[in-house]
Amino acid sequence: MQEQKTPGISPADATGIWFSRARFGLFVHWGHGSRCGWELSWPLVGGMKALRHCQDVPAETYHANARAFAPHAGAARAWIAAAKRCGMQYTVLTAKHHDGFALWPTRASDFSIAATPYRGDLVREFVDATREAGLRVGLYFSLCDWHHPDYPPFTDADRPYRYGMAPRPTEAGWARYVEFLFAQLRELLTDYGRIDLLWFDGGWERTADAWQTRELEAMIRSLQPGIVINDRLPGCGDYDTPEQFVPPEPPGRAWETCLTMNESWAWNPDDADYKSARALVHTLCEVASRGGNLLLNVGPTGDGSLAPEQVERLDAIAGWMAANGESILGTEPALAPWQFYGPTTRRGTRLYLHVLSRPYDSVTVRGLPIRRVRRVIELRSGAVLESSGRCPVIDELFNADPTGQLTIRVPEPVLDPLATVIAVDLD
């Protein structure tokens, strides 16, 4: 991460340290298509294989829907309040997705929330609610724009959508589009105060040179010195963004897994393939144990409210985090896979074991300084757990600080329905 000395911006802010310790954030995919339960953008190009429940909507019909988008004012407050209850440290809203519809009244085009019955500013509401809740503010911005006349727009004649086969712009058109792109980003990075994170996407349709990413990055960092940028600004960015999976080996730098609750990014009432709250908590433990962040997605409905399935999962996660959040937020990766059958994290001299399957009476941790184990508890209840250390006899006899295995008894009553966390305090 780049070192920047800017008055009033703490070193942690300046270098985005906050991000590398955040561990948990809220992703919000929302647009005018949510009014109809459509996935964001992809229906207008005929869908995408990875989005199994994505609809197929003629481009003109899709874009025309924007004129009727009328969410309820202040919808963001409910999502942000739920995020805060879950212990999430930051949030990211789709300010503009591939369909080109801006959720703020951009001065760079008339295809925005300003052209709807709503007339308000959904980015402003989101930023204000996030800041008031004390969370970090992130904005998602799509480089590609399948609506903009100079991009050029994707039409039904361009179907089916093929990677690398997007319709080509004219030279003059592209110059105008790049100017438009810079103008919209300048608005977002100038009119809404401090923006902590920029989540780019949709960069695969052009080269880094065509997007002028170096110039773009320079403008962004001059407007927002402490900002963190993801790796989807081609050739730039501060961290990796594995999508819909947890990398087996942690990438060599900061990273963040973005994950849907079901199979859709935006609200889609036909997609009932929801992951359980338990599976989502397990993924959070896995991600934290490898030093990454989990950016968990919600898709608000047309009026901005969250579907019951999404509220239920956020509530269940909030309940779990209320008791076990210290084993996730601000922690570091701990043990190697051979030392314990599950994710582990550490904060100072406290080790957290995430028990993701029901143990048979006990669990065992290997390669621990067994004589320096001071206390073992189940985190939610605080119940002290019995434990016994074992090491090779020779160490037993002659080594003052032997490394060995610790067996911890885990009685049924302390088991957590989602994931049981055992804390081991070491001297």
Distance (Å, whole) CA 370 – CA 426: 9
Does 239 bind ligand FHN (CB under 6 A)? Our answer is no
Nearest to 99 by CA among 225, 249, 266: 266
Among residues 229 and 355, whose Cβ is nearest to ligand FHN?
Answer: 229
**What minimum distance in Å lies between the beta carbon of 166 and ligand FHN?**
13
Contacts with ligand FHN, 65-94, as mask; x by CB under 6 A: ------------------------------
What's the per-residue H, E or C state across 176-205? HHHHHHHHHHHHHHHCCCCCCEEEEECHHH
Nearer to ligand FHN, 143 or 377 (CB): 143
Nearest distance from C-beta of residue 233 to ligand FHN, angstroms: 14
Minimum CB–partner distance for residue 266 and ligand FHN (Å) = 8
258 vs 418, which CB is nearer to ligand FHN? Answer: 258
Facing residues of 389 across strands?
406
**Residue whose CB is less far from ligand FHN, 181 or 258:** 258
Least distance between ligand FHN and beta carbon 98 (Å): 6
Q: Name 198's bridge partners.
A: 139, 229
Tokens 């369909």 sit at which residue?
Answer: 99
Q: Contact, 62 vs 43, CB < 8 A?
A: yes
Counting contacts by CB under 6 A, is residue 201 touching ligand FHN? yes
Beta pairing class for 24-28 and 293-298: parallel
Handedness of CA 11, 197, 331, 236 (dihedral sign): negative
* Residue list 321-340, contact with ligand FHN (CB under 6 A): none
**Residue 258 engages ligand FHN in binding (rule: CB under 6 A):** yes
Of 27 and 320, nearer to ligand FHN (C-beta) is 27
Cβ at position 218, least distance to ligand FHN in Å: 25
Q: Which of 243, 309, 361, 427 binds ligand FHN (CB under 6 A)?
A: 243
Cα distance between residue 206 and residue 8, in whole Å = 37
* Both structure tokens of 209: 């040179």
From candidates 265, 267, 340, 352, binder to ligand FHN by CB under 6 A: 265
How many angstroms separate the CA atoms of 32 and 42, rounded? 13
Q: 103 with 123: CB under 8 angstroms?
A: yes
143 lies in the site for ligand FHN, by CB under 6 A:
no
Least CB distance to ligand FHN at residue 350 (A)? 33
Q: Is 40 near ligand FHN (CB under 6 A)?
A: yes
Q: How far apart are CA 234 and CA 220, in angstroms?
A: 14
Nearer residue to ligand FHN within complex by CB, 99 or 125: 99
Q: How far is the CB of 318 from ligand FHN (least distance, A)?
A: 23
Residue 374: which residues within 8 A CB-CB, separation 6 or more? 425, 426, 427
| Closer residue to ligand FHN, CB minimum distance, 13 or 201 | 201
Structure tokens at 244: 């819909």
Q: From residue 67, give the alpha-carbon distance in Å to each of 32, 38, 106, 112, 126.
A: 8, 15, 15, 9, 21
Binding site for ligand FHN (CB under 6 A): 40, 201, 243, 258, 265
